[in-house]
């Protein structure tokens, strides 16, 4: 079972000079021309208000390249070995920077094309500005992957039914919501989920939500698999 160790957030910010070595060079950029692409471990760019990250951070990772036509239409080809542990989290990030109590809305829509094999989850990763709390929303998962922590039961919020897990990775609290069935497209009303954690469970106070990330937490994709975000939107009020 994979666990969501979040040291990659700090690594992505402070360690751009690190490299995976020869393994990174094994991947190739998409054959079709894209607005941007990168095979660098910490490759990133900002397009129409979203910041994209290749974010290869886990031990034993293989090769991975990211491409983007926009901040909301992008994908990766990843070739990570069939071993345990999360290898990467390629993602698009939208900055929010509002306290939960000041938000009147926070929603997101997604449409993805993901492989039938491998081990991964498609997930939102939502952080407070202090990176003390992490809220993960798994909209689909394949293979031997699972969230950190113990089950807290099920809840219907934001348009879906989720099994909730609560844990700590040594750096921050992690609250994971795993959708009851896999979904390749849909809309998530995120604000009621945050208010449920804050008001119903009391697991945190009126924290400021820093950013909403959406991407693929990949454990294995041996032989090379494609993950495509056909469309994405994150909006807040």
In the chain, what is the straight-line distance between the N-terminal and C-terminal CA atoms, in Å?
37
- Residue 22 belongs to domain spanning: 7-236
DSSP assignment of 14-60, as one string? H-TT---GGGGGGS---SS--SEEE-STT-EEEETTEEEE--B-STT
Q: Is residue 1 in a domain?
A: no
46 in any annotated domain: yes
In this prediction, residue 32 carries a pLDDT of 58
| Residue at 2 is within a domain | no
Q: Tell me, what's the pLDDT at 13?
A: 40
Q: Is the pLDDT of residue 90 over 60?
A: yes
Residue 34 lies in a domain: yes
CATH number at residue 132: 2.60.120.180
197 phi and psi, to 5 degrees? -65, -45
pLDDT above 90: percentage of residues in the chain: 86
pLDDT in the model for residue 33: 79
Which residue has tokens 């990250």? 53
pTM above 0.85, yes or no: yes
Number of domains, the chain: 1
Q: Are the C-beta atoms of 116 and 138 separated by less than 8 Å? A: no
Whole-number average pLDDT of the chain: 90
> Would you place residue 129 in the very low, low, confident or very high pLDDT band (cuts 50, 70, 90)?
very high
Residues 6+ apart with CB under 8 A from 157: 177, 189, 192, 193, 196
């Amino acid at each position: 079972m994979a666990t969501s160790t979040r040291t990659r957030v700090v690594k992505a910010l402070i360690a751009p000079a690190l490299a995976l070595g020869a393994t990174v060079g094994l991947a190739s950029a998409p054959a079709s021309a894209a607005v941007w692409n990168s095979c660098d471990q910490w490759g990133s760019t900002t397009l129409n208000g979203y910041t994209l990250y290749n974010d290869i951070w886990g031990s034993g990772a293989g090769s991975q390249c990211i491409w983007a036509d926009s901040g909301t239409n992008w994908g990766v080809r990843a070739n990570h070995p069939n071993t345990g542990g999360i290898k990467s989290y390629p993602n698009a990030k939208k900055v929010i920077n509002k306290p939960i109590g000041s938000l009147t809305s926070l929603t997101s829509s997604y449409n993805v094309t993901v492989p039938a094999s491998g081990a991964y989850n498609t997930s939102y990763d939502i952080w407070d500005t202090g990176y003390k709390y992490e809220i993960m929303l798994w909209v689909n998962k394949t293979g031997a992957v699972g969230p950190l922590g113990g089950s807290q039961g099920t809840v219907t919020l934001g348009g879906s039914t989720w099994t909730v897990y609560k844990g700590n990775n040594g750096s921050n609290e992690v609250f994971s919501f795993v959708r009851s069935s896999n979904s390749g497209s849909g809309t998530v009303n995120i604000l009621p989920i945050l208010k449920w954690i804050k008001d119903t469970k009391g697991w945190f106070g009126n924290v400021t939500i820093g950013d909403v990330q959406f991407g693929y937490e990949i454990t294995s994709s041996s032989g090379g698999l494609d993950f495509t975000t056909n469309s994405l939107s994150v909006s807040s009020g």
